[in-house]
Structure 1
């Protein structure tokens, strides 16, 4: 049986939060802190769990969630309570905060932007990196790197886009206990566009600063470790056998390309061909376009070769750039391009791509509803 705890001082700064934790512990049968520590595999010590419910200070989110898990509490609910316990850092009304996800609208630097992404993850219920990996189709290492507390550079546009969508979809699926009284008022696509808008602003500022400092507009960011491509060994020439060595190297490249091409789904290949044709109309190099749009050249190459499915925002940006450069693009070609994109999404084995397909369909359905409502209004008015 658990030993009685010391009473919480009424003037303790986090007395209310500590009382909630103790109430949760009583509901779980009042286990000892030693038993609670064992339930969570010893990742949090007995003394740390005891201090969490003392009321003198606010425990970290990790300790709070460990405490809740040991007492069979809801992790999303306790993420909410932990954030609300921070007081001035959040709006005074819990309902307003719960309905509107955090944004990066006040971010002025890459570090601020990354912190906004971290706050979005907290708002969504603190999904694990394994859950985010399933939703985004990205690796856990890539996600950990993108959300690192001390990160001082922008994640790639693709990672940002997928991460925001994943957090929003996780919130829709796991915060249903809020939906009856406090519905989420922002769609996943709206949140994604808001974050990408700020991403472009900060990226443009950093690019301008590098230009002023002498780096030049053509400078491109170095790809992160998660997106660097494995390079084939350079050919070596030996006396009397240089031709043989070069032939072996060319053969190695051909086998490497054939292996990639065989692994690409037909739907992906068809989309990649259309994107490559559209990109070729710009008559610019991949490196120059990557610098122009502040994206990783390696990612651009994989999008255009069909090795990787691009986000919808990449295709929209490419279409916009083509039209801004005065290249004609018919309405049929525009519709066909996004039809190919939906086919590629439909054939993808990744859950994140399937969620993106549902988002596309949802947006199209909403647009159709708006058109029908306008038609009904016009007919009634007539």
Structure 2
């Protein structure tokens, strides 16, 4: 007979946050699956799945995100098809990553406030995280989507919204337009463009083309963000000219 499982973490306290609650809900689902399978012992489940007892116990513990291999073995040991659980596990993984990203975003914003200019974070990002952090930059500058469309000609507020929500990809042209609207300086633009080239290698050639049109950064000058709508730097004191529009032609 299987030993009783330890109680799940309490999500009703003021210290519980949303991603912890989702983790506990996922663990509860695994426990329910095990009970429906006749409550096999962890030793039996380990033999059936090839997953060690400690990992199986941790999967329904509700304290730590289990790997897909562990979940797959757990579900298989309960005699259930794992296909439906893959989507559940991926949703939980996304919630966990989002929660960590929000925590990281707070430190980024504090850094922007301290330095007075917007620079990309140092850790590796994916496309979704890049869009989220760019949206943080927009909010940090106090800009609405319509403000951005007015300050950086070439894209409509609908397009900015779709990109910053992650519904459309971040391209080199729209990244330049977003940074222009946020008042980023040339040094900041170069850093963000380099990040984009890493995140989306298909944009690397366009990134190089746009950077080639920019004035070379001055080693002795530290660029700080100017007022929204202008990018300080260059011989004329402004980088809001044709070379730094979000995209040629009309709004998109």
Q: Which TM class, normalised by the smaller chain length?
A: 0.3 to 0.5
Larger Rg: 1
Q: TM-score normalised to the size of structure 2?
A: 0.37
Flag the structure with more relative contact order, 1 or 2, with Cα contacts below 8 A and sequence separation at least 6.
2
Between structures 1 and 2, the one with greater helix share: 1
Q: TM-score normalised to the size of structure 1?
A: 0.27
